[in-house]
Structure 1
Amino acid sequence: MQITNQISDQNEVATEKVQGNKYLLPFILITSLFFLWGMAHGLDGILIPHLKKACQLNNRQSTLIDTAIFFAYFIMAIPAGIIIKKIGYKNSIITGLLVFAAGAFLFVPAANTRTYELFLLALFIIGCGLTILETSANPYAAILGPAESSSKRLNLAASFNGLAVTLAPLLGGVFILSGVNHTPEQLAAMTDASRAAYLLEEASSVKLPYIILGTVLVLVAILFYFMHLPSMKSQPTEAEVKPGFFSVLKFKHLSWAVVAQFFYVGAQVCITSFFIRIAQKGAGLDEKTAAYYLTAYGFLFMVGRFSGTFFLKFVKDYVLLSIYAVCSILLCLVAIYGTGIYVIYALGGIGFFMSIMFPTIFSLGLVGLKSNTETGSSWLVMSIVGGAILPYGMGTLIDMKHDDIQAGYIIPLLCFVIILYFGVFGHKVKTVK
């Protein structure tokens, strides 16, 4: 009997090792997707002030950049879930990469004509590609191994999203931002030809970064085409709730996760979209220096992702989420009522504490869904539309407050209050009857 048990234990260890090797390369490939869509979102914080200048926009108009890309999540979430069910994770990922690339390449004619509407269309197409990618990659990373470690896997993969959020503002500050800012009076004093040439030059600086990004996306899509990814389709049992787009909301913890994700994404986009503007107005920094501080914000976001993955070994995911939400609320108060460089330090701190929120909310929302996982993922991705709605509201509030950027940060503060509720109460799984 003892020999039999030892053989059984050895077989289990060998099986786990084989499974681990089987999942390692797919997990690395999936993690690369987190990095790529992190680059897209990381550049938004650069595009908003840059296109505001190049296309002569007000605060509310500039936030349409967020609206275009994040509204695509709302429009494409349901089709993305259907696409995954029809063609599988691998082909869905390839489709998402190619759509993402098409939007990136569309930046070239948009810049050549300095047409803001064309920029918005390009961003909407990018958002459609990102929706397919995120709807595929988030649940795939979550189920690519033992269920009890899904939060750890998602946070580890999302850590490389944080790396991209760090690098994107740095690259955008170097290759997109010129550091030249003319006042309305100076622009009015220019001749029509010189003003048009200046604005066209500003718009054209986005072309090279997005051409490179689009090319990389096509190459990654080709790599996925030739790589084998293990099939991860779950088999429903009679005891499970049958998949249905609205019936899945019977899982109350998923419903609350959708609400929490809506406000989390809205908060994150609000903070990054107006980061450079608040650094200029609140701390007196120039455009280039503000971009470097946005890079530091991204670095803290990345550190938060990696350290959060470590902390999750010792702290329950919902507990860590709640603690980080409280810290974010306190730092928002500093951002609203503080002065000088301390406002920027507070926003950097929020970057650290926001870091684990998206993947943790996502994984908590998918707990126990089994055959409903794809549908639940569609809802969670669709809730990203918060990034389209709340920044527009923040921009409107700032314009109403006569360009008082700090006053607008009341919006993310309220978002973190809702996330705190989810971490304390809303995440609790209740049996569906």
Structure 2
Amino acid sequence: MAAPIITTATPAGEPGQEGASYGPALTLLASLFFMWGFITVINNTLLPHLRSVFDLSYTQTTIIESVWFIAYFVASIPAAKLIERIGYKKSLVVGLCIMAAGALGMIPAARIPSYGVTLVALFVIACGITLLQVAANPYVAVVGKPETASSRLNLVQAFNSFGTTLAPLFGGYLILGRSASGTAEGGASVLTQAERLADAQSVQLPYLIVAVVLVILAIVIARFPLPAMGSATRRAAKEERRQHSLWRHRNLVLGVPAIFIYLIAEIGVSNLFINFVSQPQIGNLTHEQASHYLFLLWGGMMVGRFIGSFAMRNVAPERALAVASIGAFVVILTAASTTGHVAMWALISVGLFHSIMFPTIFTLGIRGLGPLTEEGSGLLVMAIAGGALVVVQGWLADNYGLQTSFLLTAACELYVLFYALWGSRPTHALPDQQIG
């Protein structure tokens, strides 16, 4: 079982009261997790599309995703300062509006079309998501009992995975299914200039729909009475802050690289999945057909998070994380060393094992931080920038082969295993608090 966590807050009440008190707020927050998961995974169908439109190498294609995740590094600290200045609720509204502005920016980027404007628009969307991440993840972690934080965050992350599960179908139908490159046999095509222009403009409708939904959600949240964040996530007073150091907490110090490294694995798998299974020696599919299998990859992640949410009420989160990392290592090696449907289904199954990793590492990383929870959360969200290093896998794919590049993913799973077995153990733990 997990190490006991001390709570100094007023108890949330009898079992079931936590859900009754904060159910509406958690439901609304789950919609945010859904939306940013949905928008993030549209990229998985967008990248092979842009690769054909702009005739990009794997390295150039993964640079697009690197720009997306660099936003987490750039925007995390400003996001934390904005939250401190205007509060969590207004910050969520601002984050949604920023995302909507970026989604609208994809329309002129497609009309021109312009690789550079596309990068800027995606960067803006990612900055908005970063603000939501910095606000929503710690909120969910402290909105109830500390000992069920991993279970609770896995539950709302399951709705994030619901969004990631639907996104490939949305992108596959409205982007790949309406483009010449997306319907080419074997996942490869040589496009005429007219076809490139038509393919580029196929992204306008999907992003217009996304922008409208984001604006509606921002209006709903602005009018919703979210519970105020209590002392659990306020910055410690200066005098109190001098008495503590984040760097004395091993679970945070090693948790930051755990998030960073895990994101390399998750983003590498999802972004190169369509190109991988489209290859003649693997699935010999069109990109549109491959997007349906990407649906299964993210669907496995959704199922895994729902299972993890319930399982971790009785199983120590670090133990569940260790089992998941071993499973992910095995199936990634299988995908990297075999061909045909064995390799394809091995890569699909990694979603099930990846499912609990981010929320579990996050809650283990902030365990025992007490009044430093907010600062620790900011560092962990900043570590999501690890997804930017997917460009390394793109370089490996260009130089050593796409299938061989997944050995990098296998190495990432080993660090997660190390963190689960040893790195996640708290040192110098402080009393945790909760809202309620």
Q: Is the 8 A contact 1:44 1:65 kept in 2?
A: no
Give identity over the alignment, percent: 37
Q: How does 1:366-377 map to 2 (within 5 A)?
A: 366-377=366-377
Match of 1:202 among 182, 199, 202: 199
Equivalent in the alignment of 1:314: 314
CA offset digits 1:158-184 (Å, max 9, x no partner): 001111111000111111003333999
| 1:250 paired to 2:248 | yes
The offset of 1:288, in angstroms, is 1.6
Query: After superposition, what is the alpha-carbon deviation per residue over 1:199-230, rounded to whole angstroms, capped at 9, x for unaligned?
Result: 01111111111111111111111111111111
- Aligned partner of 1:411 in structure 2 is 408
How has the CA–CA distance of structure 1 residues 87 and 258 changed in structure 2, closer, same or farther, with 3 Å as cutoff?
A: same
Q: Distance in 1 between matches of 2:121 and 2:349?
A: 32
Report Cα offsets for 1:367-402 as digits up to 9, x if no partner. 12122111111100110111011x10001111112x
Residue pair 1:155, 1:356 contacting (<8 A) in 2 also: yes
Deviation at 1:146, TM superposition (A): 1.1
Distance 1:432 1:288, change over 3 A: closer
Deviation readout 1:234-268 (Å, 9 max, x if unpaired): 16899999448x94232111011111000111100
Q: Which residue of structure 2 lines up, in the alignment, with residue 215 of structure 1? A: 212
Q: Deviations over 1:46-68 (max 9, x none)?
A: 11101001111111001112111
Would the aligned equivalents of 1:151 and 1:317 in 2 still touch at CA under 8 Å? yes
Q: Hey, what does 1:131 align to over in structure 2?
A: 130
Residues 185 and 286 of structure 2 are in contact (CA less than 8 Å); yes or no, is this contact kept in structure 1?
Answer: no
Work out whether 1:227 is the aligned partner of 2:224.
Answer: yes
**Does the CA contact (< 8 Å) of 1:242 and 1:372 recur in 2?**
no
- 1:105-125 deviation digits (Å, cap 9, x = unpaired): 100000001101111101100
Corresponding residue for 2:7?
Answer: none
| Aligned-partner residue type, residue 25 of structure 1 | P
- Report which stretch shifted further, 232-241 or 365-374: 232-241
1:410 and 1:328 map into 2 onto residues whose CA distance is 12
8 Å Cα contact 1:240/1:371 also seen in 2: no
1:277-296 matched pairs, under 5 angstroms? 277-281=275-279, 282-296=282-296
CA distance in 2, matches of 1:19, 1:358: 23
Q: Is the 8 A contact 2:183 2:286 kept in 1?
A: no
Instruction: Label 1:55 to 1:229 Cα distance change in 2 as closer, same or farther (>3 A).
Output: same
Cα distance in 2 for residues equivalent to 1:301 and 1:93: 25
The answer for the alignment partner of 2:87 in structure 1 is 88
C-alpha distance in structure 2 between counterparts of 1:277 and 1:241, whole Å: 54
- Give 1:226's aligned amino acid: R
Counterparts of 1:37-52 in structure 2 under 5 Å? 37-52=36-51
| Contact 2:367/2:429, CA 8 A, preserved across alignment | no
**C-alpha distance in 2, partners of 1:167/1:83?**
31
Q: Counterpart of 1:305?
A: 305
Cα 1:314–1:182, aligned 2, differ >3 Å: closer, same or farther? closer
Task: Between 246-255 and 166-175, report the one with greater CA deviation.
Answer: 246-255
Cα-to-partner distance string for 1:255-302 (whole Å, 9 max, x where unaligned) = 111110001111000000100111011322221211111111111111
What letter matches 1:307 in structure 2?
A: I
Match of 2:332 in 1: 332
Counterparts of 1:330 and 1:321, CA distance in 2: 14
How far residue 313 of structure 1 moved from its aligned partner, in angstroms, is 2.1
- In angstroms, what is the RMSD of aligned CA positions? 2.4
Residue 184 (structure 2) pairs with residue 181 (structure 1): yes
Query: C-alpha displacement at 1:307, in angstroms?
Result: 1.0
| Match of residue 155 from structure 1 | 154
Q: Is contact 2:187–2:275 with CA below 8 Å preserved after alignment?
A: no
1:56 aligns with 2:61: no
| TM-score when normalising by structure 1 | 0.90
Q: Name the residue aligned to 2:434.
A: none
Q: Compared with structure 1, are the counterparts of its residues 243 and 338 closer, same or farther at alpha carbon in structure 2 (3 Å cutoff)?
A: farther
| Matched residue SS, 1:63 | helix
Task: Give the AA of the match of 1:406.
Answer: Q
Shift of 1:415: 0.6
1:128 is matched by which residue type in structure 2? C
**CA–CA distance in 2 between the matches of 1:206 and 1:16?**
47
**Offset at 1:13?**
9.3
The answer to whether the 8 A contact 1:260-1:418 is kept is yes
Unaligned stretches of 5+ in structure 2?
1-10, 431-436
- Judging changes above 3 Å, is the alpha-carbon distance between structure 1 residues 144 and 237 closer, same or farther for their aligned structure 2 residues? closer
2:426 to 421, 425, 429: 429
Q: Which structure's CA Rg is the greater one?
A: 1
- 2:254 is paired with a residue whose SS is helix
2:265 maps to what in 1?
Answer: 267
Structure 1, gaps ≥5 residues long? 1-11
CA pair 321-432 structure 1, distance change in 2 beyond 3 A: closer
Count of residue pairs brought into register by the alignment: 412
Aligned equivalents of 1:114 and 1:310: distance in 2? Answer: 46
Q: Distance in 2 between matches of 1:359 and 1:238?
A: 24
Question: d(CA) in 1 for partners of 2:154 and 2:361?
Answer: 11
Going from structure 1 to structure 2, the CA distance change for 1:14 and 1:132 (only over 3 Å counts) comes to closer
The residue type paired with residue 394 of structure 2 is G
Q: Which moved more, 1:82-91 or 1:130-139?
A: 82-91
**AA partner of residue 154 (structure 1):** L
Q: 1:319-349 CA distances to partner (integer Å, 9 max, x unpaired)?
A: 0000000000011110110110111111111
Deviation at 1:82, TM superposition (A): 1.3
Bigger mean CA deviation after superposition, 35-44 or 318-327 = 35-44
